Structure 1
């Protein structure tokens, strides 16, 4: 019998990919000229390395000693410690992803099996990110069909709501019933410099009535993330599915959303919220309430892979988000740190393998070329 493995080192590196042309994200009034990525690596004493990515790990300098020397396979313990750190500092969940990747490599098992092994693939929906002219958005929708996607998410938030609705109508007119369409209203949170108030329930309901006419599959974040009463009221008054929770931070908040019947579709991101173990348990609770669990994935390919393993292994989602809006947001930009960008097959499925952990190969040259800062804890 071998000795218990131990964590020997944690490396955190920060990277900046130059974006030319810039990416004009629909939820951000400032076009993005750089794409930041934080990479977390956890080493054990047998030479295994687990990799995670997500938020910048603000404040982690005070807590690294809680992991060095610990058993990497004690995932419930690590989840509880990270949950506490998330209260006292920034979101530390990239480390949790890295710990699960490491545990899978030690055990010789893919994370989707560790999550419950329910499936090894999930069908993807194309998630757009740019406010395009209606004709260009219709062209994008036709391209999405050709690529094999079964669904497309359109972003609202243009200067005039009428322009958003015209874009949606143009897409529906171009594709008919060949695509399911989702609409992200982007009312749940704001960038630090954007101070516009979120919609009221009445405003959201007026939009919902227009979405009903276009047979929209779900309406995402139509209200502020904490407007539980408003969400419950809105959901009672429209047949359109209501989605949200992408950056909700704590389990008790999700419990309130479930108890108050606020959402049909629950969308936390493992790179931002509760980590792998926390969201595995939440997925069970969401499905026990008869709701859909399918994560937000708007980050890089490591976060996408972690959410994919979580969803395939622990949930029964009809779709998972696949950030895709070329040329400004291509899979090559999104996954610049991976040797092989993650992509769908010809029928829109994201397929997982039996490779241990997350099954990813890192492009070390790309990381070296984009390195901005490094921290090592041992």
Structure 2
């Protein structure tokens, strides 16, 4: 299997505090466990963050090309990454996630033999929707280019949106939603304690504000446990401002800061009453995101409540609870869930679905539908 080599052509912020980096490292680490050689590159601010990543991938054929985050360091890491592509390997695959890198990959393909180009779709994969200087036809020409060997949708809703935008499917594509380390979340059970939990980043389009607005409408027995952001002063100020904006007493909100992903099951999710997945009124939330937390939530034995968008419903189906994107509806569903006894919930059904998205399953599908077919 070592004749397969994957080069992830995107500079990573080498810390697990970056949701993007966490997703990439986990996705491709598990692929490398199947015998595929993987190379990524990036820069770091804190050496301890880099060491955590290196420790995580140590047991696999996974190379992290890293340099200290300086202008020169970033250039060196990129040069070393390109140099590594010249190694003799029978089948090489370069994976991109940004349209500029995709354009560059087409040029690299003309220079390096046996190179195949794969492009991943993520929240910013239709950049003309957010940046007026980027033209829709340019992005379409890249995503429909014959030099693109496979397009990876990381959510079923992305394929739906692609077809809406371009009135066709890609020439070749695979649908590979995010994976989950399923076994880590087994034994994470609910408590009837009115504790609402959110785990994730605080990006504007994720609409964390919806949680606070809903909490302000609920009885004071409902409390919020929240973990994520960067765990820095800016994140703390963000939480504090929302509490002040919606007049929520500090005793009702417990901000845990940033928690390492391998600890979130027991330190964040366990003994919650409801796990929350808010989303904003925007294209990223409705069609383009593939929220890692959804898969982790569904691997537990705790009810999950999400805003009802295709990005979630096309994955979770009827296995979780849904709400419209307004605080009254969200709060009402929280009350509805918390008023039900434990016996009401069918966690086995939700867990069976979550297991289908295990990293092992995702990696096998990647190997079969993407790499082996190229």
With structure 1 as the length reference, what TM-score do the two structures score?
0.31
Identify which of structures 1 and 2 has the higher relative contact order when contacts are C-alpha pairs closer than 8 Å and 6+ apart.
Answer: 1
Rg: which structure is higher? 2
Answer 1 or 2: which has greater helix percent: 2
With structure 2 as the length reference, what TM-score do the two structures score?
0.31
